[in-house]
Structure 1
Amino acid sequence: MCQESRSFIAPFANCSVIDTTMKFYPADTPTFLEFDKIITLLKKECYGEPAQLYFDNIEILTRPNPIRKLLDQTAELKKTIEDSEPIPIYAYQSIKHKVKLLRKEGYVLSIEGIQAIHNVIKMGLSIDYYFRDFKRQRTYLQLYEICGAIDIDSGLSSEIDRILDDEGNVRPDASIELSQISKRINKKERELDSTFKQVADRAKKSGYLADTVESLRNGRRVLTVSAEHKRKIGGVIHDESATGKTVFLEPIEVQMINNEIVNLYADRRKEIYKILSLLCMHLRPYADALVEVENVVTQLDIIHAKARLAILLDADKPEIVGKASFGYRAAYNPVLYIKNKKLGVPTIPFDLDLHPPNRILVLSGPNAGGKSVTLKTAGILQLMVQSGMLIPCDPNSKIGIFDSIYTDIGDQQSMEDDLSTYSSRLKNMKYFLENANEKSLILIDEFGSGTDPNVGGAIAESILRQLNFNKTNGVITTHYSNLKYFAFKTKGILNGSMEFDTQSIRPTYHLIVGKPGNSFAYEIAEKTGLDPRVIKYAKTKTGKNEKAIDELLIELQEEKKSLESRISVMEDKESKVDRLMKNYNELHKELEFRRKKIKLNAKEQSLFTISQENKELDAVIKQLKEANDLDKAKVIAKTFKTKREKVRGEIHRLKDEVYYQDKFDPTTLKEGDYVKMRTGDSIGNILSIRKNKAEVQMGIMTMSVPLKELIPAKEPISMNDSRRIIMDIPQRERFERKLDVRGYTRSDTLHAVQEFMDRALLTNENSLTIVHGVGSGVLRKAVLVKLKEYPDIIEVSHPEEQYGGLGVTYISL
């Protein structure tokens, strides 16, 4: 008998191999987890049989993206209901078989079949109209994507409406011929009424009729005539009563009229068949579109059922993570929630978040404390999520994806295979050990039970050890102390317990992760009223050690949890301190860079001022030479030269500190490396290296750059080498931040300013000076015209008169 199933297909025994659906062992695992009850609820919410059939054969997916898509669809449809703008879907029948018949040339569908198709067409058109609202298209993006497949001609609905009325009857005016036949029928029926009434009145006055004047036999109106008078009225007898006292006679006066009416109705049926035949011929080319509309309607019906269930459960969409893991927050069992809701009893939520490297929860505690419910909840919620259903949990829950679920729940004694309960459980364990992996979810209830506790506990511990070695995920319930202790000392396994109120001797049904539980067997026995002598004797048999071990384990677990929590806090603090130190060092480095950059700019400005003063000095020296005071002229010239050289030296030193701190050896660069200039942000690729220069491709430009000016960089997102501009970039110290165009023509000035600005941008300069003189203002205007072409310029200004006034232009980038 097949025990393995890869998808939830009633009756859970399907063994088809579908890589994208979940694998189960045993095959009826979904039933053990009560997933069949969820399916029943969903089927009740369906409008049509196709959606119900889907849930009978629902697939449990194992890939994150398709699961996320299904969840998004359900969440969107839930929102349409909550926002009071539901998608227009209602009861429908499957039309696929009818469309299959319609495809046959000459086949004429019944009126019921056409009505079913019409219903689906109208629903498709309503859905299409619903999503013509642009706001809905954006709000319900996933649903709009589904409904985009609807492509149906609205004329089909109009044509069917022209032929059939709301009751499904062919309209009398569906064709000209039918309209004429209908009129003739109406006329003849009026004639029949008049003639029949006259005959009936005469017969009644003569006392020939029974109490009931007329009846209907073989589709014809007849008189109810007393048997003794049947020969007194001319006509045809169609029937007589059971007693023989009454005959049903068609008067001879109306026979011809009835015959004509019968013939007219026959003509009417032929015309209706012809009309329906033409209608089917009109529908036939749209067969594929009709099937597609039903597919969309069915898909929306499925999603709608999930959304209705989500509202019933107050469910939400969790976050899906790719790896297999637990991350439930404020979750509860959906079946239990519905049951408690009817009884007015609250359902206790639980958090099940096993932080890595923990993968297995060993759950202990008193009987009837909620262990099995918690175990089943973990399984049923997983099935719901992986089939695209919203689940009752906090939306911040992070749910992992499993490829398989293996369960060992309840009494699995097999009479057919001659296996005891324990033998059957060992058979399950053998399968788990051979097949479970890091993508599997193991759910084992009352682990190790069914045999001698000492032996059963030892075997269970060995199995648990191997499952943990296989990196399997799972929830396991037990009462065995050795398993609790093994979980305490083993990495990857965590203890958990169901809280128990020792004052009231009642379970609270709260899950506590990280703390083993006590069975509280004696306390429960005392509460049930068991004879104290029996309890006392039992305590003497177990001794103090059993309870002491449990209490010690609980204390150790609490201490371990507290220590782990403190370590986690310390690690978090240490991480924050490291980040703060890193940020501080980076900020300090940035501030130091800016400070030196400001100082560098000031020195360069100072050098410019000295250059301005140097012109005045040249005039003074010239005057001194003319006055033959050469010694004084030499002293003045030497003083200014020394001052200028000193400033230049400081500028060179600051440049080295600002741009050459990294001690990078440029000789290590090679062809193909990605680099950027020390004074810029653009990234390029080294095409070739010759001596101390590299040819670098930067975007559409190819530049020759000194190696000293380059530092390594990461590869940019994209490079475009369709065009090249060749440039030779000299060393940065050779770039002067001042351009003097006095004496240039306007054309030469425009060209010089463009080259000057381009080089400044490549070297990341931010403060420039152009000297053009006052003159007639032609060169100043030419400079300003060219500067307007550069959007990176922040400000253009002129210095005070003593520093050049309108003859000098300052540029800030």
Structure 2
Amino acid sequence: MIYPTTFEQKVGFDRVRELAIASCLCPLGEQRVRDVKFTTDPSTIFEWIEQTHEMKTICLMEDNFPTDGFIDITPALKKLQIDGQWLDENELHQLRRSLETIKQLLNFIKRVSEKYPSIAKLATGVNYYPYVIERINSIIDRFGRIKDNASPQLAEIRVSIRSKEASVSKLVQSILRHAREGGIVDSDAQPTVREGRVVIPVAAANKRKLKGIVHDESATGKTVFIEPVEVVELNNEIRELEYEERREIVKILIEFTDNIRPYLPDLLSAYDFMGEIDFIRAKALVAIEFEGSKPILSSDTTGIYLRQARHPILQLSLKKEGKKIVPLDIQLNKQNRILLISGPNAGGKSVCLKTVGLLQYMLQCGFLPCTLENSEMGIFSNIFIDIGDEQSIENDLSTYSSHLINMKQILRSSDEQSLILIDEFGSGTEPTAGGAIAEAILQELRDKGTYGVITTHYSNLKHFAANTPGIINGAMLFDIERIEPLFKLEIGKPGSSFAFEIARKIGLPETVLNEAANKVGSDYITFEKHLRKISRDKRYWEKKRDSIRLANKRAEEAEQKLQKELEELEKKRKEILAAAKKEAQEILATVNKQIENTIRIIKESNAEKNQTKKAREEIEKLKTEVTQLGQDTDALVERKMELIKQRQARKASKKNQKTTNEHKAQVQKEEKPIEPGDKVKVEGSDVIGEVISINEKTASIAVGGMITVVKTKKLKRVSSGEFQNIAKQKPKPAGNFDIYKRRLNFKSDIDIRGYRAEEAIEAVQDLIDDALMLGFSKVRILHGKGDGILRQVVRDLLKSTPGIKWFGDEHIEFGGAGITVVELDV
């Protein structure tokens, strides 16, 4: 149960619904967003959330998800259930485009079914029937026109029409030539079409000089349009052939409709699938926009633990103002089911309450709530809200009376599976009585085991919450030094209203404030002072704790770094000692040889004094050298280790400086916008050039000896060195051949009938860009007549596009207002 009926408007879900509708690609998805409803079935909610979560991943990670051709053709298909009905050419064209989209969706889901099982489940049993697409292709061309070979009879009729039209054109030109020679018409007069008839414009004064039927006249009446009598019969025959052509086309369409009628149930089911995908995609895009995540869901327990919760509509509003939203951490569990929030006015109490209500409602409608992924959310059977001024003149209700009516409904229907949201609890009447009634209601709600978020200014409710199990106080923090709210929620203690401080900041006289303080009494002032002191001390110690935590973290990182360096130094020390030991062993081996040689000399000289003395001196000298080597080994190791430390410190300093400089250069490069004179590269190609002029959407760049127009978002700035390197590496003959090949494949006509406005703008912009780049001076855009909306969109775009010399309607016999001809300045 959701109470009241205006719940969605009160918490802001109506705006979330509007944003989702704006993200849909077709009316099928839009209708599903309008129809989305709150549900209490856990399995349904889990399935919806998993689908949205998977689609969010698809939108972020998969590049080839099809988004074109989402067209709702179901009204036309439903009318085919009646015999004798058929699809016209435009509906047939839309059916083909949308079936191609369904085919692409099914192929995409088949490829990724293992990664996204919930989305893959939606495609089970969906068929698009290739036969239907093949049959449509045999009837209409890519522009949606009936093909000449759709039937043998149609081919014959059209051959006859073209033959007679050629005869009419030839005869009219002959009559026009004689009329010019006779001075009946102007020398520059040309045949035109009125009511499907080829006519000649004649001055009103000469209308009796040319025999024929008058079909129309100009707005001024100075010119009349006459069908020469010589071609009347031919035009009648053409008109009869056109009627015959139309009858044959209807016959073809009826035959096609009869062929596909057995497939209608499956086709309608396929369009339901397309609408469901569009709906889920819209929810996923909303989640991406507001950083929504799939929380930890539970169907067994009811409760809420929102981490970094944000109200999406408030977040959107602050983003437009260049501000950031302050996230909230809110927890309701079996031990503390009701959170009583107090604090200053405009401090964020109501926003906190609305955030809880909106995110829970979004979850149970299948939207991803705007919280971190490690948030925990249960399922509620009922959600009640009492917020705002509900006074009614018609029902003779005051604000307080309306609040009491809401309280009656909440008390009657709430249980342990209910979530209640009450703003400014107890206000609207005399404080003593209002506070007492509110305290009694709060006691009753606690006894029922109801979950809830309640805001208040009443001190008796704060005291009641502090001494009652199941209810916990919460405070919206306030900066007492700057006299402004911090919009942060702190759970566990009540908040002060800061009424005197706010009044003093606004500028009320000090005498008035002193008198008010005397009237309110010392107990209230003392209580408020204690609350402020607790709040101030808590913020101080929180800052201290954060700074200590940061210092400890830095110390741990430094300790880890030093430990690593010591391990490396110890390794090098062992290597140096091993080398020194090896060197000492080699020296000792040499000394032993010399000693043995000396002993041998002494023996051979029969121990002569001079020889013995000399040998002893050499032994003493070697002994001294070996001893000195042993003493110097440790000092040598220490010196080498010190040099290694100094070298590592210099390398780290240079690396940090280099990283800082590179980061600064990268930031400067990213922040500087592209300007005229910059060297740029077109993304996705090897085209490079110099910017001549630039605006928000397009830029003119010089590429070789040619100037072309490119979308600004496709340009990437390159340095002069990169520009020269690319220019050297770029094989000019291959580039020229590519341009030549593109000119051969370029089509100067485009058909945008059935496109959405965004699709039409994109297609026309691409056509104009390619035509300017390849040097074509004229293009044609087929948009049809209809209500003229698509025509207006195209022409609004052409007015603001550089490089356009002229645009206007095609000649009447070639399509008239249904085609826009564009001449380019190349």
TM-score of the alignment, normalized to the shorter chain, above 0.5: yes
Take 2:2 and 2:384, find their aligned partners in 1: how far apart are those partners?
Answer: 6
The residue correspondences of 1:342-353 to structure 2 (distance < 5 A) are 342-353=320-331
2:429 & 2:197 partners in 1: Cα distance? 84
Give the unaligned 5+ runs of structure 1: 1-22, 561-813
| 1:542 alignment partner AA | V
> Aligned pair 1:506/2:494, yes or no?
no
| Counterpart for residue 192 of structure 1 | 168
Map Cα deviations across residues 465-486 of structure 1 (whole Å, 9 max, x no partner). Answer: 0000011110000011111111
Question: Does the 8 A contact of 1:89 with 1:297 survive in 2?
Answer: no
Q: Aligned ranges for residues 306-317 of structure 1 at < 5 Å?
A: 306-317=283-294
CA distance in 2, matches of 1:86, 1:242: 54
Is residue 542 from structure 1 mapped to residue 542 from structure 2 by the alignment?
Answer: no
Q: Which SS does the other structure have where 1:393 is aligned?
A: coil
* C-alpha RMSD of matched pairs (Å): 2.3
Residue 129 of structure 2, aligned match among 149, 153, 165: 153
Mean Cα deviation higher: 402-411 or 232-241:
232-241
2:342–2:455 Cα contact (<8 Å) kept: yes
Q: What are the residue-to-residue correspondences of 1:358-369 with 2, within 5 Å? A: 358-369=336-347
Query: How far 1:553 sits from its partner (Å)?
Result: 7.5
Taking a change above 3 Å as real, the CA distance of residues 466 and 93 of structure 1, as seen in their structure-2 partners, is same
Q: 1:524 aligns with which of 496, 499, 502?
A: 502
Q: Aligned letter for 1:480?
A: Y
Structure showing greater Rg: 1
**Which residue, out of 158, 171, 176, partners 1:182?**
158
1:251 equivalent in structure 2: 228
Counterpart position of 2:632: none
Shift in alpha-carbon separation, 1:319–1:558, aligned structure 2, 3 A: farther
SS of 1:179's equivalent? Answer: helix
- Following superposition, the deviation at residue 234 of structure 1 comes to 3.9
* 1:141-290 matches, cutoff 5 A: 141-210=117-186, 212-227=189-204, 229-240=206-217, 246-290=223-267
Query: 1:25-77 deviations in whole A, cap 9, x for unaligned?
Result: 22111211111111111111111222222222221111222111111111111
What does residue 408 of structure 1 align with? 386
Distance 2:70 2:144 in 1: 15
Equivalent runs, 1:479-490 vs 2, <5 Å: 479-490=457-468
Q: Secondary structure at the match of 2:46?
A: helix
8 Å CA contact 1:150–1:292 kept in 2: the answer is: yes
Q: Counterparts of 1:633-782 in structure 2 under 5 Å?
A: none
Aligned to 2:432: 454
Q: Distance in 2 between matches of 1:552 and 1:257?
A: 103
Q: Which residue of structure 2 aligns with residue 325 of structure 1?
A: 303
Q: Letter of the aligned partner of 2:340 in structure 1?
A: V
State which drifts further: 469-478 or 148-157: 148-157
Task: Give the secondary structure class of the aligned counterpart of 1:407.
Answer: strand
Instruction: Specify whether residues 316 and 297 from structure 1 end up closer, same or farther in structure 2 by C-alpha distance, changes over 3 A only.
Output: same
Distance in 2 of aligned mates of 1:73 and 1:288: 25
The answer to whether the 8 A contact 1:481-1:550 is kept is no
Checking the alignment, whether the CA contact within 8 Å between 2:32 and 2:276 is kept in structure 1 is no
Separation in 2, partners of 1:159, 1:305? 33
- 1:580-659 maps to which residues of 2 (within 5 A)? none
Structure 2 counterpart SS, 1:156: helix
CA offsets 1:390-436 (integer angstroms, 9 cap, x no match): 12111000011111111110111121211111111111111111111
Q: Secondary structure at the match of 1:431?
A: helix
For 2:310 and 2:64, the matched residues in 1 are separated by 28
Amino acid of the structure 1 residue aligned with 2:524: E
Number of residues paired by the alignment? Answer: 536
Q: Which of the numbers 34, 45, 57 marks the counterpart of 1:67?
A: 45
User: 1:715-763: CA deviations, max 9, x gaps?
Assistant: xxxxxxxxxxxxxxxxxxxxxxxxxxxxxxxxxxxxxxxxxxxxxxxxx
Q: Counterparts of 2:496 and 2:531 in 1: how far apart (Å)?
A: 10
Q: Take 1:86 and 1:482, find their aligned partners in 2: how far apart are those partners? A: 61
Matched to 1:253, the amino acid is E
Partner of 2:332: 354
Greater helix fraction, Structure 1 or Structure 2: 2
1:514–1:558: 8 Å Cα contact kept in structure 2?
no
How far apart are 1:168 and its partner, in Å? 2.3
For the 8 Å contact 1:496–1:517, the answer to whether it is kept is yes
Whether the 8 Å CA contact 2:495–2:531 is kept in 1: the answer is: no
1:659-696 Cα distance to aligned partner (Å, 9 max, x none): xxxxxxxxxxxxxxxxxxxxxxxxxxxxxxxxxxxxxx
Determine the C-alpha separation between the residues in 2 that align with 1:407 and 1:302: 28
Amino acid corresponding to residue 305 of structure 2 in structure 1? G
Q: How far, CA to CA, are the matches of 1:559 and 1:502 in structure 2?
A: 12
Counterpart in the other structure of 2:268:
291
Q: 1:368 to 1:248 in 2, by over 3 A?
A: closer
Identity of aligned residues (%): 39
TM-score (structure 2 length as normaliser): 0.62
The counterpart of 1:120, out of the listed 98, 104, 113, is 98
Q: What is the CA-CA distance between 1:557 and the residue it aligns to?
A: 12
- Look up the equivalent residue of 2:247 and give its one-letter code: K
Compute the displacement of 1:437 (Å): 0.5
The superposition leaves residues 311-332 of structure 1 with CA deviations (integer Å, 9 ceiling, x where unpaired) of: 1101111111122211101111
Q: Deviations over 1:346-368 (max 9, x none)?
A: 11111111343210000001111
Q: Tell me how far apart the structure 1 counterparts of residues 537 and 417 of structure 2 sit (CA, whole Å).
A: 32
In the superposition, the TM-score normalised over structure 1's length comes to 0.63
Letter of the 1:176 counterpart: P
- Equivalent residue for 1:140, pick from 99, 116, 133: 116
Query: Structure 2: which amino acid aligns with 1:288?
Result: P
Letter in 2 for 1:429: M
